Amino acid sequence: MGCAMEVAIEIEIAEIALIGFGGIDRERVRAALVAELSRLLAEEGIPAGLSSAGTIETLDSGAFRLAPGMRPERIGQQIALALYRGIARTVFTT
């Protein structure tokens, strides 16, 4: 009989720079980012290393493409995926 272990993590994103996106609804981008990152962590799992206590001071999420006219929700999803992948590549400090 397996025993599921519940892991609580806290992610604080201090700033997301959306340069060149004048007039975009930043709150919709933020809400979509939070929802998608939560979904990825729940469905894909917590990347190895993140489950052991640690801190990431800065995160290089790598490059990703955004198409002109992309909806704020889709932009938030793309940013979340890039962050999730960046977390998986990161070395953690305690």
Separation of first and last alpha carbons in the chain: 33
- Is residue 80 situated within a structural domain? yes
Taking the C-alpha atoms of residue 56 and residue 66, their distance in angstroms, rounded to an integer, is 25
- Is residue 47 situated within a structural domain? yes
- Is residue 50 situated within a structural domain? yes
- Is residue 14 situated within a structural domain? no
- Is residue 19 situated within a structural domain? no
- Is residue 36 situated within a structural domain? yes
- Is residue 1 situated within a structural domain? no
Residue pair 75/36 in contact (Cβ under 8 Å)? The answer is no
CA 86: distance to chain centroid?
8
Q: What share of the chain is helix, strand, coil (3-state, %, to 5)?
A: 40, 0, 60
Specify the number of domains making up the chain.
Answer: 1
Residue pair 87/47 in contact (Cβ under 8 Å)? The answer is yes
pLDDT band at 54 (very low <50, low <70, confident <90, very high): low
Q: What are the structure tokens assigned to 10, written together?
A: 């806290």
For residue 92, the model assigns a pLDDT of 53
For the stretch 1-24, pLDDT in tens is 555 566 677 777 777 777 777 788
